[in-house]
Amino acid sequence: MGKPKAQSKKHKKGGVDFKKIKRKIGRKLPPPKNATNTEIKSKAIVLPEQSIVAEKAGLAVSKKGLTLKELLQQTSHHNAKVRKDALFGIKDILLNHPVELKLHKLAVIEKLRERIADDDKLVRVKLLELFKLVIFPGCGKDNQGPLVSLMMAYIFNAMTQLSIDVRLMAFQFFDLVVQFYPSSFSLYAEKDIPASEILHAFEPVVGKEPIGLNDIIKPIKDLLPILVGCFQDFMPWLHSSSQLDSQSRDCLQLILQSIDLVVRFLTSGVCESDQLISPMILKKLWDVFPLNLVHHLSGKDDDRIFMLNTVITKIFLQLRNWDYAPSALLEKFLEFIESSLITKVQSSKVFHEKLLPLIAYIPKLTTQISGEWRSRILMAFTDVFKNSRPESAMKLACLSAVEEMLDPERSSLYFDANDPTFLDYQIAWIQYLPSLLILLDDKSPSCSKSVLHLQLRVAQAAPVNSPFSLEFDNLQYNFRAICYGPFTRLTADIQELAICCLYYISSMDALLLQSLVSCCLCEDVEPYLVVRIIEVLQSAFRAGHIQVADYISFHVTLLSRFQVYPEKVDPAVKSNWTTFKSVTSIACSCLSQIGDDHLVFQMVEKIIVDQICGEIPMDNICAFLRLLVTLDSKQARLSDQSIVNISHVSSSLGSPHHVHMPVDRSTTICVVGSVLFHMYKDVKIRKTLLSCKIETETMLRNLLNLLSPEGTNLTLEERHKIQTAYDRLRAITNNEVAGHS
């Protein structure tokens, strides 16, 4: 069967209600037929007699054709861009038409001052630039009082605004006014002079009692929460800012420094109490420590934050009861101190200046902490002490802290002497001092003086046979390099400190004495220092710090190696004959006071004779002869062998190989005459000289021949010397002949 046929659909009869019109996509629909045409056609009406340009004829206008009055009105517009453009226009008019500023300066300032506290930063910046570059330079010095008064009222108002940016900018306006009109501020002080004179008239009547301490403490104490609050106002801005500008950094720094001064006053000096400071006030400061930047900024910004954290740490360390703080808070500060000392020691000078206050608190810190933290802080401090530049201020600060920790009597701090860890660090500091002196040389006299002063204090305060005393004795092995090195180039006061340190060495080594001899023989060392060294060594010998053999060897070596430059030999060389004469006298005095004369002479006889018989200059031989005579003055104890050896030396003095310093004839005659004169004073020798009458007459005859006009050519000075010697010898001879007859 086939499928049935589909039934055809039946359509309704009648019209269509809505006819659907097919439209192509993208084509704009035509307007409906019943749409209303809203287009308005107008024609311009030209009125030549009412032109705005004609009204501004002869007036100063900006590039946009606006007058000064119109621009001043636009500075109060609600749109910040319009206000900023108005300031641009005012700058344009005042630069191109300076007369406008002279005529309307008070009106301009009175209107523009309203924008000092403007909400928009760009407007404030443009206003500051306008005052700095155009208005203040153009106003000159006339009418300073009214001008400053107009500005200051709005500047002070801006300083009290809620927005911190406005307050900061207010200080820039204030700084600008002070820079241009500094004398205006002194006028306010001069107004009080008459009143002060009236008050001074009552001085004899009114009691001169000082202001009570409570009257000072209260306002300072009330200032602390205000400063902390100002610092907290910066925290939201600090955490949200993408750039830490120098102005904001300086403001934060000044606020923290002010807090530091307040805390220092309330915790030290006449107050000496932490009870004046509410813990809750500073807790707000501790909560934000350490300051961190939320956004990753430049390394320079990190350094600025570090400096702020340093000031906060100093404030914390100034408190007397900080060691009772919660352990978590204390560890925060200890971690910051340790990391700062380790990481910033090799940084620039700026970081060293910021770290200096922390170094001063290291002694107090080490006494109030214990365990691992104490060792960590001491290790970090020791690294700074050894690795900082020798001539830097950081080295001086470390030396001061070391002195406080090595000498408990200098401070009221208590250091546990039984702590082995602390003792190890103390010994390490002492061992480093000689090396530091060598590094310093003469580059930093103040630092060298501090090092030597520290060494002297350690030596004076150390008990006998204590670890410090034994360690100080060991310093002499490094001290040898200093005696003939940096010592000779230091100033006199520093050299005196170094010499004083010698006395406290309980057992002086022979090698150190050799170094001291070399130091005394150095031409750069002043004569009084040579004498001072000998005096200190004499005191050390009397105290039992030097062996007898070493002490004798020091003086003998000094006399034998001393290079003498006689007078009037070489004008280019400075004579040291007087110095050598003084050294010889002191050596004779020191050796004669060693002990029993007989025993001392037995010890030094062979040594002195060997030196005389050695190949040394005549001046040195004479010095040893003088020493020999001094030690053998009471009775003749000189052995026959010594006399024979000395006679061999005297006979060889005229040999060609012996070096003679050139001297004039008159000097030789005076010396011979002086010897004979002293010989005649001795009774025993005088009898012997009577048998030499012929030789004496021959000597006088030769002197007359020299003085005769036919004699050799003599200068006036030489003739005077010979005449004096002749007169003295003739007088002695005549007296002896008369007495004998």
> What is the secondary structure of 667-720 as a DSSP string?
HHHHHHHHHHHHHHHSHHHHHHHHTTHHHHHHHHHHHHHHHSTTS----HHHHH
Please name which of 21, 112, 25 lies closest in space to residue 75, comparing C-alpha atoms.
Answer: 112
From the list 583, 660, 659, the residue with the least C-alpha distance to 627 is: 583
Please answer whether residues 441 and 485 qualify as being in contact, where contact means their C-beta atoms are separated by less than 8 angstroms. Answer: yes
Is the predicted pLDDT of residue 646 greater than 80, yes or no? Answer: no
Does the pLDDT at position 570 exceed 50? yes
Task: Please confirm whether the linkage preceding 290 is cis (ω < 30° from 0).
Answer: yes
Q: Which two tokens stand for residue 90?
A: 């005012």
Q: Could you tell me if 552 and 603 are in contact, meaning their C-beta atoms sit under 8 angstroms apart?
A: yes
- Structure confidence at residue 175 as a pLDDT band (50, 70, 90): confident
Question: Using 50, 70 and 90 to split pLDDT, how confident is the model at 278?
Answer: low
Alpha helices in 462-596 (DSSP H): 467-474, 476-483, 492-503, 510-521, 527-542, 548-561, 577-592
Give exposure, 694-717, as e/b (b: 16+ Cβ within 10 Å).
Answer: eebeebeeebeebeeeeeeebeee
Write down the pLDDT at residue 211: 47
Confidence of residue 519 (pLDDT cuts 50, 70, 90): confident
pLDDT band at 348 (very low <50, low <70, confident <90, very high): low
Tell me what the mean pLDDT of segment 559-567 comes to: 82
Distance in angstroms (rounded) separating the CA atoms of residues 651 and 353? 72
Task: Categorize the per-residue pLDDT at 54 as very low, low, confident or very high, splitting at 50, 70 and 90.
Answer: very low
CA distances to 155, 256, 361, 398, 478 from 377, in Å: 48, 25, 11, 13, 28
What pLDDT score does 568 carry? 60
* Residue among 187, 178, 182, 101 nearest 138 (CA): 101
Q: What share of the chain is helix, strand, coil (3-state, %, to 5)?
A: 70, 0, 30
Rounded to whole angstroms, the maximal C-alpha distance in the chain is 203
Between 40-49, 204-213, 409-418, the lowest mean confidence (pLDDT) is in 204-213
Residue 614 makes CB contacts below 8 A (sequence gap 6+) with 560
pLDDT, tens digit (0-9, with 9 covering 90-100), for 231-240? 888 887 777 7
Residue 203 clears pLDDT 50, i.e. is over it: no
Integer Cα distance of 342 and 380 in angstroms = 6
560 Cβ contact partners less than 8 Å away, ≥ 6 residues apart: 611, 614, 616, 620, 624
What average pLDDT score do residues 616-641 get? 77
- Residue 30 in this model has a pLDDT that exceeds 70: yes
Quickly state the pLDDT bin for 535 (edges 50, 70, 90).
Answer: very high
What pLDDT, on the 0 to 100 scale, is given for residue 209?
46
Termini Cα distance of the chain: 203
Residue 51, pLDDT above cutoff 50: no
Three-state SS at 78: coil
pTM over 0.85? The answer is no
CB 112 within 8 A of CB 130: yes
The pLDDT assigned to 118 comes to: 92
For residues 373-381, give the mean pLDDT: 90
Task: List, as one string, the DSSP characters of 420-466.
Answer: HHHHHHHHHHHHHHHHHHHHHTTS-HHHHHHHHHHHHHHHHHSPTTS
DSSP per position, 139-187? HTTTTHHHHHHHHHHHHHHHTT-S-HHHHHHHHHHHHHHHHH-HHHHHH
Closest CA to 495 of 456, 458, 543, 464: 456
Kindly state the average pLDDT of the residues 43-64.
64
Q: How far is Cα 244 from Cα 252, in angstroms, rounded to an integer?
A: 11
- The position carrying tokens 């006053």 is 265
Higher pLDDT, 123 or 2: 123
Pull the structure tokens for residue 143. Answer: 């009418």
Residues 540, 508 contacting (CB under 8 angstroms): yes
State the pLDDT confidence band at 294, using cuts at 50, 70 and 90. Answer: low
What are the sequence ranges of the domains in the chain?
A: 59-192, 547-650, 666-740
Please report the pLDDT score of residue 206 as a whole number: 41
In eight-state DSSP terms, residue 323 is G
> Across all residues in the chain, what is the average pLDDT?
78
Q: How far is CA 687 from CA 682, 702, 728, in A?
A: 9, 24, 18
CA dist 330 and 289 (Å) reads 11
The average pLDDT across 450-477 equals 85
245: Cα separation from own chain's centroid: 29
Nearest to 609 by CA among 554, 556, 551: 556
**Which residues sit opposite 67 in a β-bridge?**
61
pLDDT for 541 equals 92
**H helices present in 113-143, as ranges:** 121-130, 136-139
- Quickly state the pLDDT bin for 14 (edges 50, 70, 90): low
